[in-house]
Structure 1
Amino acid sequence: MPVESRKADRVDAYTKKYWQKDAAKDNDAHRDSRLGDYAELVNGYYDGATELYEYGWAESFHFCRFYKGEAFLQALARHEHYLAHMMHLKPGMRVLDVGCGVGGPAREIARFSDANIVGVNNNDFQLERARKKTAKAGLSDKVSFVKADFMTLSQQFGENSFDAIYAIEATCHAPTFEGIYGEILKCLKPGGVFGVYEWCMTDAFDPSIPRHKEIQHGIELGDGIAEMRTIEAARKALKSVGFELLHEEDLADREDAVKWYYPLEGNPLKAQTTWDMFTVFRMSRVGRFFTQNMLWGIEKVGFVPKGTYDVGESLIKAQAALVAGGQTKLFTPMMLWVCRKPKA
């Protein structure tokens, strides 16, 4: 893939243009600038981070719960199956995946439910990879991908055009919850269901506490999010645009023996299977050292866009902030809502 297809200039701009590295210096003006330019911010982030995600994680860019002894990839798939189950997805339904990444969840949910999935994304690099991976999996007849902006979904697809819509840790990138949830509501048929795993700061979060603000800022900087918002803000937005809330639960708040953030801790001794030791090792200090030095080298010779190394550094900051957010329960990546568009 040529560097130019990823728009190297916006990769390089990601850490230089949008962020104050010190959380205490990041103010409302910086946040408003990010929100106003959210599409370029997110695209710059994923142009640089996508292959790092695939290398370090998998083709499904999300977190999940773990049972003891459960393999990493198995747990990711189960998390996707659970959402499809809670939404009652059925064969033949037309379903929209909002923020589809490289299509890992769309392919898995299509296999699980036999629904027809349309993945939407605003990043050309990810879309091209999603189409190639889907063709290789033999699922191009069940899973397709469309380039579109979160905030104009109803213009792209038309109102009342999907039986169900889901989003897995993606709508946090939208500039407002009301905006993205309102577009999703419009695109759903009356009676249609929306299921979402949302990234939120929990009720324990207090922005006046410097450590809380530092964790929030680390997650924003390291994950391409213009503004991390609260559970209450998401709940209020879902209700205000007109959704009926059918189910609500912070899955990260369950008392699991194996925590959702354990791979990020980088301790291979905590790996649930032998193969998963490699995944966890990549998150360790030694693993990060090798990855970043490799990035530095291949960026110098032009194999990846300028700025990819800096994006890698931001991912390291995110790793620390996500673990801290999980341990203190200030943050959840799996606030689950299942909602219905009223029939009337």
Structure 2
Amino acid sequence: MVAPSRAGAEHVTHVADYYDSNTRRFLLVAESPTSDAIHRGVWLPGTPDVAAAADAVNRLVIERLRGHVPPGGRVLDLGCGVGGTMTRLAQEMPVAVSGVTISQVQADIATKRFAKAGLSERCQVLCADFGQLPAEPRYDAMVAIESMVHSPSLATLIPSLAERLKPGGRLLMIDDWMTDEDLGLAARERCLERFRAGWRIGGLHTVPGLTGIAEGAGLRLVESMDLTPYLHLGRPRDRLIKVAVGATGLLRIRDRLVERPFWANMIGGSALQTALAHRWLEYRLILLEKPERH
């Protein structure tokens, strides 16, 4: 285990404060408040309602792990939030699911959720930095939903995760990935910088860049699925937030407000909407696999 640098430790503290301050509000304003999901809704073809859209990411994960994780196997949710995906995995598959979140608020909510669902024996959550995992145990699969962007260094994190995967194990990530379009465009760089500052982003990577890191760590790319077309961008509340964030720019107070978790979420979220609409970022499912030993 490598000790984090001072800058890395400060970043972890900022991310923890961001989620401790915002998580309960995220649950209140979620696209489907009854879904226990604080990730984005994905409107895949045939999705009937907001509850199904909120659960779409969980279904995508389950489809890609079912049959690859043996009964009694171990799954680790990196950046598990309030345990919604962990709960769904445990309900759908006979596996043990561990989760790591940097937020004590999220860990407490998740623990109560598992107890209420009768899953405490198979679902456990740890409040910690997923960049500082112990060497054991090893896992049949790892899942990371909208959490990899908080890592300050995928070049360090991915090899660490690969070591903790069993042969044949899968690493499934659903997150925002940078595209190569409009490199050097000033508007793009300003937008991405607001996203980084607002949402406490550790680093943004392209899929080819990630693939190179993964291959160096002994993982192969199995699937890269673009989910961006299935997001509902520009909803009424998103337009309202854009107006509010725009006003902070006119008043020249945005740089001060971005230090406050509530406004940080508003500023980062508005920038994310713009980046996705322009395809400066793409919301993608990335599936990596560790080869079996021969």
Pairwise TM-score range, normalised by the shorter structure: 0.7 to 0.9
Code of the residue aligned with 1:92 in structure 2: it is: G
Residue 82 of structure 1, CA deviation: 1.2
Cross-structure match for 1:136: 116
Within 2, Cα distance between the matches of 1:224 and 1:248? 25
SS of 1:319's equivalent? helix
Cross-structure match for 1:201: 178
Kept in 2: contact 1:194–1:338 (CA 8 A): yes
SS of 2:42's equivalent? coil
Within 2, Cα distance between the matches of 1:181 and 1:316? 29
- 5+ residue gaps in structure 2? 245-256
* Cα displacement string for residues 36-71 of structure 1 (whole angstroms, at most 9, x for unaligned residues): 622112112112121121111153232242046632
Q: Percent identity?
A: 22
Cross-structure match for 2:253: none
TM-score by length of 2: 0.82
Structure with greater contact order relative to length (CA < 8 Å, sep ≥ 6)? 1
Distance 1:34 1:74, change over 3 A: farther
Cross-structure match for 1:338: 288
Cross-structure match for 1:212: 188
Distance 1:198 1:308, change over 3 A: closer
- 5+ residue gaps in structure 1? 1-31, 268-280, 290-306
SS of 1:212's equivalent? helix
TM-score by length of 1: 0.71
Within 1, Cα distance between the matches of 2:192 and 2:258? 22
Residue 225 of structure 1, CA deviation: 1.0
Within 2, Cα distance between the matches of 1:216 and 1:286? 17
Residue 201 of structure 1, CA deviation: 1.0
Within 1, Cα distance between the matches of 2:291 and 2:78? 16
Residue 221 of structure 1, CA deviation: 2.0
Within 1, Cα distance between the matches of 2:65 and 2:288? 7
Code of the residue aligned with 1:203 in structure 2: it is: D
Within 2, Cα distance between the matches of 1:287 and 1:218? 13
Residue 139 of structure 1, CA deviation: 1.9
Distance 1:230 1:309, change over 3 A: closer
Residue 115 of structure 1, CA deviation: 2.2
Cross-structure match for 2:248: none
Kept in 2: contact 1:244–1:342 (CA 8 A): no
Kept in 2: contact 1:93–1:163 (CA 8 A): yes
Distance 1:261 1:321, change over 3 A: farther
Code of the residue aligned with 1:75 in structure 2: it is: A
Residue 205 of structure 1, CA deviation: 5.0
**Which of 165, 174, 180 is 2:151 aligned to?**
174
Supply the RMSD in Å over aligned alpha carbons: 2.7
* Cα displacement string for residues 64-83 of structure 1 (whole angstroms, at most 9, x for unaligned residues): 42046632221221221212
SS of 1:154's equivalent? coil
**Which of 28, 48, 54 is 1:76 aligned to?**
54
Within 2, Cα distance between the matches of 1:319 and 1:74? 22
Residue 327 of structure 1, CA deviation: 1.1
Code of the residue aligned with 1:285 in structure 2: it is: L
Kept in 2: contact 1:218–1:317 (CA 8 A): yes
Note the 1:1-344 alignment, pairs <5 A: 35=8, 37-57=10-30, 58=33, 59-66=36-43, 67=45, 70-88=48-66, 89-155=69-135, 158=136, 161-204=138-181, 206=183, 208-252=184-228, 256=229, 259-262=230-233, 265-267=234-236, 281=237, 283=238, 285=240, 310-344=260-294
Within 2, Cα distance between the matches of 1:316 and 1:227? 19
* Cα displacement string for residues 71-105 of structure 1 (whole angstroms, at most 9, x for unaligned residues): 22212212212122123345422111111011111
Code of the residue aligned with 1:235 in structure 2: it is: T
Residue 154 of structure 1, CA deviation: 3.5
Residue 222 of structure 1, CA deviation: 2.2
Kept in 1: contact 2:15–2:150 (CA 8 A): yes
Residue 129 of structure 1, CA deviation: 1.3
Kept in 1: contact 2:219–2:288 (CA 8 A): no
Residue 142 of structure 1, CA deviation: 2.4
Residue 316 of structure 1, CA deviation: 1.6
SS of 2:223's equivalent? strand
Aligned residues: 271
Cross-structure match for 2:251: none
Within 2, Cα distance between the matches of 1:114 and 1:205? 46
SS of 2:271's equivalent? helix
Distance 1:288 1:125, change over 3 A: farther
Residue 137 of structure 1, CA deviation: 2.2
